[in-house]
Structure 1
């Protein structure tokens, strides 16, 4: 019997993660239009891309990446020895030869390397979704292989409802969090830091967050110790009672 206190299990989904591939080597096999999209996603994630594809099959965008030195390029067909590099953490194939793709998939399984074989869901350890990007904000919509075009439609509809300055606001929040970690380091401060930052995100509008400058962040951080979140106007005026001001030392002082 189902317990209404807990959510029901909905099988058939994927575990959607933000995979950190910064400075990690990723092998891409194929140089067509699909490969161009894969390469762009990887470069946006600061991965080290190694590309294997005959030059006569290169997409113009892929050729551009090669000319700019944005990828490490090998003008040849894939060989099993290309997987011998222990630094390879991921493989993506985008070729028109199903048999060759399956061979690469099997080799990756033998070497326990995560792989994505384009347009062959059963031979994928992970999928790509339709992604909306605005600065640090990334939103992915996945249909788990049921309808890629529908994922694109849903993603566009979601993006249309977002404020145009949401990415900038998130970037400012990220800068504030970094400052907070400097002023209140230590794992024991973790729960309080999270709770205080949550208050800031709830109490400040997106417009306020976008407008927040470095000096405003320093003033706002004075409310951390007393667990207060003054408004942007209070931060800038310094005239409201209860506004905390940093006295320039490693401690805190309260101006009444």
Structure 2
């Protein structure tokens, strides 16, 4: 076997995942990255004496964005919890929470203590559905911010909106072709669409445009956007006369 065709293993990294925590229960002890988990639609509970709250956490509590328990952490707080974030200025208390999480097999992040973290947050750029995370595996958070900003500056301004449109088209396509065995064809056709249309085309595309475009899924064709708009309202009598402007991707 030719081993040169395979990439070399580079240990010491992390498995970077998009962790779906919608409606999962997240316990935050004292402060923490509350906004990160709220953006992921998690159900957040904050446990901390009121005099230990920072301004943002106090704001989230006042607005009812999180549940709040006004006292110090107790082991029973871990009941029915899926994730724990702590930022306690007490190393012994933090380690105790970490050990309890390990006993209960609950993923935890103990702020500023990399050995007591099941995961790291990294530095994230967000544009609608697009999320890009830069991680230094806990070694250089400030440098992660610098790298993230550099990447963000090079991204097209409309990339988030274009991704939103592609997501909407995929949802509509699944209604047109819902059968599991059509999965490969759906994927292949969506690749053609993504290759054929620019970001500007995708941003310009309306839901009516998408409905027209989906008429071409069955013959596995992708018309250019200008031709697509010209066809709207005329497809019921479509006889192939627009074939000159249909690309095969």
Mapped pair 1:245 → 2:235? yes
Q: 1:120 to 1:188 in 2, by over 3 A?
A: same
Runs (4 or more) in structure 1 with deviation over 6 Å come to none
**Number of matched residues?**
240
Pick the aligned partner of 1:157 from 137, 140, 150.
150
What's the counterpart of residue 121 of structure 2? 128
CA distance in 1, matches of 2:236, 2:133: 41
SS for the counterpart of 2:71 is coil
Deviations 1:165-192 (A, max 9, x none): 0000000000000000000111101011
TM-fit CA distance, 1:3: 1.4
CA distance in 1, matches of 2:66, 2:231: 51
CA distance in 2, matches of 1:41, 1:26: 11
What's the counterpart of residue 55 of structure 1? 50
Deviations 1:183-216 (A, max 9, x none): 0111101011011111111110000000000110
CA distance in 2, matches of 1:56, 1:81: 22
What's the counterpart of residue 29 of structure 1? 29
Mapped pair 1:42 → 2:37? yes
Unaligned 5+ segments in structure 1 are 248-252
CA distance in 2, matches of 1:76, 1:29: 10
What's the counterpart of residue 4 of structure 1? 4
Scaled by the length of structure 2, the TM-score of the pair is 0.93
TM-fit CA distance, 1:27: 0.4
Deviations 1:60-101 (A, max 9, x none): 111110011000000100011211x22x10111011111100
CA RMSD, 1 decimal? 1.6
Scaled by the length of structure 1, the TM-score of the pair is 0.90
Unaligned 5+ segments in structure 2 are 242-249
What's the counterpart of residue 250 of structure 1? none
SS for the counterpart of 1:15 is coil
CA distance in 2, matches of 1:191, 1:3: 30
Contact 1:50 1:71 in 2 (8 A): yes
SS for the counterpart of 2:223 is coil
CA distance in 2, matches of 1:174, 1:245: 24
Deviations 1:119-163 (A, max 9, x none): 111101111110000000000000111211111001000000000
